[in-house]
Amino acid sequence: MGADEQVGDAHPSTARTGPIPAGVAHGAGPGAVPAGTTELGIDIIRVDRIRQTLAKFGNRFSERILTPGEQRYVRDRPETMAGRWAAKEAVSKVLGLGVRGIGWREIEIERLPTGQPAVRLHGRAEARAAQLGMERIAVSISHEAEYAVAIAFGVRTAAGRYLFPPDIEDRLDERDRRILARLDRVHAMAEGAPRG
């Protein structure tokens, strides 16, 4: 990876997005996000932090964070690993989740023959991009001796106030389901209330 890489992109395929709680995901009004909204993510990390983690955990750390293809390219080089870390963080922010709900290896940063990085999404990350209608995510990575930084950019084609992660139903317990049901009832009452 060079000090200043070019911009890459991803084209996630259509994936099951799962049920979205009624009355929460879509609609106009305060806080609504129109289709065509751009999403931006950025991350910076100290290369020494990655160097220390690699020294402490070795291949176990790389195997937890990187796909096999990424591992072949990174080869436990701290600057390169820090760039991949920052890129994955930036992409997760574009998807609106940070790294919560998405595994590190579900965001893959490939290196094209031209040297530019490209994003390939898998599993829940791919489903989340499909849910947002995000057909393309571009990423740029830069690093030097002390820091690595990455920025990611995507355009939403799905509108709405807030879109829950696609696997939210699988992660809810009974208490969460009751709270969401209450929120749906309150939202329905607010929609039906006369405005004055």
- Reading the chain (196 residues) residue by residue, the pLDDT tens digits are 444 343 344 433 323 233 333 333 444 455 567 778 889 999 999 999 999 999 999 999 999 999 999 999 999 999 999 999 999 999 999 998 766 778 899 999 999 999 999 999 999 999 889 888 888 899 999 999 999 999 999 988 876 556 666 666 676 778 777 887 888 888 788 877 665 5
CATH tag for 38-161 (out of 3.40.50.720, 3.90.470.20, 3.30.720.110, 3.50.50.60): 3.90.470.20
Reported as a single tens digit per residue, the pLDDT across 95-136 is 987 667 788 999 999 999 999 999 999 999 998 898 888 888
SS3 annotation, the chain: CCCECCCECCCCCCCCCCCCCCCCCCCCCCCCECCCCEEEEEEEEEHHHHHHHHHHHCHHHHHHHCCHHHHHHHCCCHHHHHHHHHHHHHHHHHCCCCCCCCCHHHEEEEECCCCCEEEEECHHHHHHHHHHCCCCEEEEEEECCCEEEEEEEEECCCCECCCCCCCHHHHCCHHHHHHHHHHHHHHHHHHHCCCC
Structure tokens at 112: 């094209």
Q: What residue segments make up the domains of the chain, in order of their start?
A: 38-161
The model's pTM: 0.69
